[in-house]
Amino acid sequence: MAHAAQVGLQDATSPIMEELIIFHDHALMIIFLICFLVLYALFLTLTTKLTNTSISDAQEMETVWTILPAIILVLIALPSLRILYMTDEVNDPSFTIKSIGHQWYWTYEYTDYGGLIFNSYMLPPLFLEPGDLRLLDVDNRVVLPVEAPVRMMITSQDVLHSWAIPTLGLKTDAIPGRLNQTTFTATRPGVYYGQCSEICGANHSFMPIVLELIPLKIFEMGPVFTL
Buried b (16+ CB within 10 A) or exposed e, 66-87: eeeeeeeeeeeeeeeeeeeeeb
Report CA Rg, the chain.
24
Specify the pLDDT at position 191. Answer: 92
Q: Does one domain contain both 67 and 39? A: yes
- Given a contact cutoff of 8 angstroms between Cβ atoms, the answer to whether 178 and 106 are in contact is no
What residue numbers bound the domain in which 79 lies? 15-88
Question: Which pLDDT score, from 0 to 100, does residue 176 have?
Answer: 93
Asked if residue 101 and residue 60 are part of one domain, the reply reads: no
* pLDDT tens digits in sequence order for the chain, 227 residues long: 677 767 778 888 888 999 999 999 999 999 999 999 999 988 888 887 766 656 566 778 788 888 999 999 998 999 999 998 888 887 788 888 999 999 889 999 988 877 789 999 999 888 888 888 888 899 999 999 998 899 999 999 989 999 999 999 899 999 999 999 999 999 999 999 999 998 888 888 899 999 999 988 888 776 555 44
Q: Let me know if residue 6 belongs to a domain.
A: no
CATH code: domain of residue 76 = 1.10.287.90
Is residue 51 in a domain?
Answer: yes
Instruction: For residue 9, tell me if it sits in a domain.
Output: no
Respond yes or no on whether the N-terminal peptide bond of residue 106 is cis (omega within 30° of 0).
no
Residue 175 lies in a domain: yes
Position 227 in a domain: no
Report yes or no on 49 lying in a domain: yes
Q: Same domain for 80 and 35?
A: yes
- Whether 101 and 173 map to the same domain: the answer is yes
Exposed / middle / buried, residue 144 (Cβ in 10 Å: 0-12, 13-18, 19+)? buried
| Inside any domain, residue 103 | yes
pLDDT confidence of residue 227: 45
Q: Among 88, 121, 137, which residue terminates a domain?
A: 88
The structural domain count of the chain equals 2
| Closest of 203, 78, 194, 213 to residue 143, by C-alpha | 213
Is beta strand 142-145 parallel, antiparallel or unpaired with respect to 208-214?
parallel
What is the structure's pLDDT at 130?
87
Q: What are phi and psi of 61, to 5 degrees?
A: -65, -40
Contact 165, 17 (CB under 8 A): no
Answer yes or no: is 48 within a domain. Answer: yes
